[in-house]
Structure formats: C-alpha cells, structure tokens
C-alpha cells in the first residue's frame, strides 16, 4: 500500500521521481541540450573538445540569461514583452554615459538599473492599467524608446574604454583562469530567480494569475499588481543585460539589444514555458538560452555555412515545441 510522508508526498515515489515530477520541462530541455551538443561534437570533435568554443559562448550567455529569466515570469503571468531590447539599450546608455562622465562605476550601475526598473514599471503600468494587448503595446513602446535613443544620440555609439581598467567593473566581467566571471553573476541571478519563481509568494501568484486571473482575483490577489511586478522584474533584467553587455564589449551601441529579441523569445519557449500562461520553468529557460546561443556558434564550428544558422534555429524551435507538447499536458 502507498504511504505518504508528513508533507503529503507519496513515500514510495522517492526523491528522484519527485524531482523529475517537479522539473519535467527543464529536464526535457536539458536532455535536448545534451543531444544537440553531442551532435555538434560528432560534427567537429576537434573544435568541441577545445575550451575556447565554450568560453566564447559563456562570455556572452549571461546577457541572454538576464533577459530570458524575467521573460519566463512575464509569459507565465500570461503576458508578453517585446520592448525589453529597447529598455536594455536605454539602461546601458545611462550606464555608459555615467562611466564616460567619470562617475564611480557603482553609481553608474545603480543609475542603469534604476532606469531599467523605471522603464519596466512604466511599461507595466501602461500595459496593465491601460488594458492594452501586451503584444502590441510593448511593440509600440519598444519602437518609441528606441526612437528616443536614436534621436538623442544621433545614432552614435559610446566607447567606454575605461571599463577595461576599472577593477570594480572587472569584478563583473573578466576571465580569471580563462573562465568568464560574468557566468557566476548569471548563475546567482538564476538561483535567486528560481527561488522567486518556485518558492516565493510572488512566484506563486504569478502562476495563479497566469493560470486563472479571475480565480486569483476572487481569492484576494490583485492580478494587475502581479502583472506589473513581472514587467518591473523584466526592466531589472534588461537593465542588467544592458550593463553587462556594455562591460563585456567596452562599447555601447544605440542598437544594443536588437539582436536579442527573437533569440530571447525562442529561448523561453524552447526552455519549456508554454505560451498559454500559468506554468513555466526558469531553469528550462536558462538551458533554452544556452541552446540558442550554442546553436549559433555550433553550426559554424561544426563546419556548416553560416547560412544554416537560422534554418537550425527554426528546426530546434519546432523540435522542442513537439517535445514539450508531448511532455506537457495542458489542463483547462
């Protein structure tokens, strides 16, 4: 006969089975990642047994992670955000201006993050309290912010070469012993986000609002506040992504973030967060970001033409969609 532990789990199910039950989508994504890497390895064992290929991806992967993880929250709550690349560029612009003007790095970072938070809050308030479609409203707001940057800067970049010598900023991005230290910051961000998503009141409410906003409202949750909260978090992540991108590249471009839009969206869905809201996975999204990043490098490194990158990106999205469709049941 089945017995349960005092916290309600079936004692016969064991730790491993419990872990699989709770992380089904992330494990599926991880399996997909391993298979993909094995295929790349078979395609070019020489390149894929060399640390440098991993180093080149891990150097920029944190930027994608800072974007993908908050987007998992937004998709789970039943919304979408297409304005984050512009928010990323705006926050990074303020940071780069601060560094260029000679302000202490910590102050420039705080200013960049504050701008990210402020823009995220403004976008959330407009979308949620204006009762607009987040798809259309964030598309418009994204263009608006990008346009403002372009008008103000005349399309000119900022070379923040001082970053390379600044010890504080090197703590955020450098390669002691050949390992990109920014990956540690990204790992901390993921760990905190996993707790926020799975083990915090905010995460629980994000799930409930995304699943059934009317039920959440009847149970005393204000779905609007929760939705705005996810946009604020997205602004925070976009701010960090912009700052790290500038530190890694020593330069701010007014087009910063543009190339992240589609890969970030792809990473969220490849990671196992479905479009319908209520469920998702931060860990899966992180692995999804790694899948998308490694695809771009891996295709070329495996000896294929660069023209194949988009084709394989598409293939991976479709294959993962089929995989998650089989792996996840949609309850309605």
Partner 1 sequence: MTEPLIELRDLRKSYGTVLAVGGVNLQVNKGEVVGLIGDNGAGKSTLVKMLAGAITPTSGEILVRGKPVAGWNAAKSRAAGIETVFQDRALAVQQTIARNIFMGREITTFGGLLNLGRQRSEALHLMREIGFTSNAVTPDTVVGQLSGGERQGVAIARAIYYNADLIVLDEPTTALSLTETEKVFSFIRTLRAGGRSILFIGHNIHHVFDIAERFLIMDRGRIALAVTKAQAGSARRLIALMEEVAHSGENTPPVELAARLKGVQ
Q: Candidates 26, 74, 190, 208: give the one binding partner 1 (CB under 8 A).
A: 208
Note whether 24 binds partner 1 by CB under 8 A.
no
Least Å distance, CB 280 to partner 1, is: 10
Nearer to partner 1, 11 or 35 (CB): 11
Pair of tokens at residue 25 = 């989508």
Could you count the other beta carbons within 10 Å of the beta carbon of residue 114? 15
Note whether 28 binds partner 1 by CB under 8 A.
no
Binding mask 248-287 for partner 1 (x = CB under 8 A): ------------------------------xx--------
Note whether 10 binds partner 1 by CB under 8 A.
yes
Nearer to partner 1, 1 or 101 (CB): 1
Q: Please give the full DSSP string across 113-180, using - where no structure is assigned.
A: HHHHHHHHHHHHHHHHHTT--HHHHHHHHHHHHHHHHHHHHTT--EE-GGGGG-HHHHHHS--GGG--
Note whether 201 binds partner 1 by CB under 8 A.
yes
Note whether 101 binds partner 1 by CB under 8 A.
no
Q: Give Cβ neighbours of residue 14 (< 8 Å, ≥ 6 apart).
A: none
Note whether 327 binds partner 1 by CB under 8 A.
no
Note whether 154 binds partner 1 by CB under 8 A.
no
Note whether 331 binds partner 1 by CB under 8 A.
yes
Note whether 205 binds partner 1 by CB under 8 A.
yes
Applying CB under 8 A, the span of 81-89, 91-99, 136-144, 323-331 interacting with partner 1 comes to: 323-331
Q: Candidates 8, 102, 178, 306: give the one binding partner 1 (CB under 8 A).
A: 8
Nearest to 93 by CA among 158, 161, 173, 162: 158
Note whether 332 binds partner 1 by CB under 8 A.
yes
Least Å distance, CB 10 to partner 1, is: 6
Q: Give Cβ neighbours of residue 207 (< 8 Å, ≥ 6 apart).
A: 76, 278, 279
Nearest to 29 by CA among 280, 241, 276: 280
Note whether 79 binds partner 1 by CB under 8 A.
no
User: What is residue 49's three-state secondary structure?
Assistant: coil
Environment class of 59 (CB within 10 Å of its CB; exposed 0-12, middle 13-18, buried 19+): middle
d(CA 163, CA 176): 16
Note whether 204 binds partner 1 by CB under 8 A.
yes
Note whether 1 binds partner 1 by CB under 8 A.
yes
Q: How far is CA 121 from CA 84, 128, 207, in A?
A: 12, 10, 20
Q: Give Cβ neighbours of residue 313 (< 8 Å, ≥ 6 apart).
A: 263, 266, 292, 295, 296
Binding-site size, partner 1 (CB under 8 A): 35
Nearer to partner 1, 186 or 226 (CB): 226
Nearer to partner 1, 139 or 204 (CB): 204
Nearer to partner 1, 165 or 199 (CB): 199
d(CA 282, CA 288): 10
Least Å distance, CB 236 to partner 1, is: 17
**Tokens 């346009």 — which residue?**
147
Q: Candidates 15, 16, 101, 329: give the one binding partner 1 (CB under 8 A).
A: 329
Least Å distance, CB 318 to partner 1, is: 24
Q: Which helix (H) or strand (E) holds 308?
A: helix 308-327
Give the distance, in angstroms, between the CA of residue 9 and the centroid of all CA atoms in the same chain: 32
d(CA 192, CA 218): 29
Note whether 219 binds partner 1 by CB under 8 A.
yes
Contact positions toward partner 1, by CB under 8 A?
1-2, 4, 6-10, 21-22, 195, 199-202, 204-205, 207-208, 211-212, 214-221, 278-279, 329-332
């Amino acid at each position: 006969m089945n017995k349960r532990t005092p916290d309600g789990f079936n004692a016969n199910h064991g730790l491993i089975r419990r872990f699989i039950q709770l992380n089904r989508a992330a494990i599926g994504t991880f399996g997909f990642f391993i298979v993909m890497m094995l295929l790349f390895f078979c395609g070019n064992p020489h390149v894929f047994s060399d640390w440098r290929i991993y180093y080149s991806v891990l150097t920029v992967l944190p930027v994608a992670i800072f974007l993908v993880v908050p987007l998992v929250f937004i998709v789970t709550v039943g919304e979408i955000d297409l304005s984050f690349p512009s928010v990323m560029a705006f926050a990074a612009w303020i940071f780069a201006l601060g560094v260029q003007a000679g302000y202490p790095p910590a102050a420039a970072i705080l200013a960049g993050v504050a701008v990210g938070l402020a823009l995220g809050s403004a976008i959330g308030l407009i979308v949620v309290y204006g009762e607009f479609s987040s798809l259309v409203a964030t598309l418009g707001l994204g263009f608006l912010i990008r346009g403002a940057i372009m008008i103000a800067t005349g399309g000119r970049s900022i070379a923040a070469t001082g970053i390379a010598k600044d010890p504080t900023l090197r703590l955020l991005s450098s390669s002691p012993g050949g390992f990109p230290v920014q990956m540690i910051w990204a790992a901390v961000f993921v760990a905190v986000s996993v707790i926020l998503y799975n083990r915090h009141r905010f995460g629980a409410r994000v799930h409930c609002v995304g699943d059934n906003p009317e039920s959440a409202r009847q149970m005393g949750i204000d779905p609007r506040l929760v939705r705005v909260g996810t946009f604020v978090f997205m602004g925070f992540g976009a701010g960090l992504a912009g700052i790290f991108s500038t530190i890694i590249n020593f330069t701010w471009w007014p087009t910063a973030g543009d190339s992240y839009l589609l890969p970030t969206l792809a990473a969220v869905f490849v990671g196992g967060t479905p479009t319908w809201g209520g469920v998702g996975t931060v860990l899966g999204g992180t692995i999804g970001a790694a899948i998308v990043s490694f695809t771009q490098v891996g295709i070329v490194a495996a000896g294929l033409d660069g023209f194949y990158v988009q084709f394989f990106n598409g293939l991976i999205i479709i294959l993962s969609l089929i995989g998650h469709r089989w792996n996840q049941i949609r309850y309605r």
